């Protein structure tokens, strides 16, 4: 059984402190790890894991939150990333073909490359607000809720059938 983990972070070497009423934009990455868990109930420490993908975010800043869409039908998965720039980025990450091709080569870590990325922004006058948390609706797979550092909560409608969501 394969399980996947998305990891994002802030780059404290660039900006040591982040303040809630400021936005921060700098290049960052999301890492996608694949774990081989033969028995999830008894596996305490997975030994077989691989970094399978790096997703560059050129101006997102710190990645405060990552959420997989709960209603993704195989072989695709959608990942939303909330950042210190205030943007939410949406990616179509996996296809069975990409995981299989990675396992066959096992030498090169693929980068997610897309000329079009779905990006959500909060339309508010101050425009100095970070996206701190996101979650997918369990009732409607096309809805994404986000909370911001200024106290705003936004509900976005996501079209997961959009052609902009290009597979790696």
Q: Is 164 inside a domain boundary?
A: no
Residue 67 lies in a domain: yes
30-79 residue pLDDT tens = 998 888 777 666 666 767 788 888 888 888 999 999 999 886 555 567 88
| Domain span including residue 44 | 2-157
Residue 132 binned pLDDT confidence (cut-offs 50, 70, 90): very high
Residue 8 lies in a domain: yes
Q: Is residue 117 part of a domain?
A: yes
Q: Which secondary structure element, helix H or strand E, spans residue 2, and what is its range?
A: strand 2-7
- Check the CA dihedral 99-113-75-62 and report its sign: positive
pLDDT in tens, 101-127: 445 445 555 555 554 568 888 887 777
The gap from C-alpha 61 to its chain's centroid, in whole angstroms, comes to 13
Tell me how many domains the chain contains.
1
Q: Does 57 fall in a domain?
A: yes
Name 33's bridge partners: 5, 51
What pLDDT sits at residue 163?
56
In a domain? residue 167: no
- 162 in a structural domain: no
Q: Residue 86 pLDDT > 60, yes or no?
A: yes
Rg of the chain, C-alpha, whole Å? 17
Q: What is the pLDDT of residue 39?
A: 64
In-domain check, residue 38: yes
The model's pTM is 0.79
């Amino acid at each position: 059984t394969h399980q996947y983990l998305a990891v994002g972070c802030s780059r404290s070497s660039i900006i040591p402190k982040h303040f809630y009423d400021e936005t921060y934009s700098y290049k960052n990455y999301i890492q996608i790890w694949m774990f081989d868990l033969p028995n999830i109930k008894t596996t305490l420490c997975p030994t077989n894991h691989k970094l399978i993908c790096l997703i560059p975010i050129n101006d997102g800043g710190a990645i405060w939150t990552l959420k997989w869409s709960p209603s993704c039908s195989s072989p695709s998965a959608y990942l939303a990333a909330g950042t210190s720039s205030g943007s939410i980025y949406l990616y179509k990450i996996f296809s069975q073909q990409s995981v299989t091709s990675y396992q066959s080569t096992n030498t090169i870590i693929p980068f997610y490359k897309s000329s079009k990325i779905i990006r959500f922004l909060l339309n508010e006058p101050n425009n100095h607000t970070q996206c701190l948390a996101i979650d997918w609706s369990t009732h409607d797979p096309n809805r994404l809720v986000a909370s911001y550092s200024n106290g705003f909560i936004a509900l976005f409608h996501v079209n997961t059938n959009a052609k902009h969501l290009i597979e790696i």
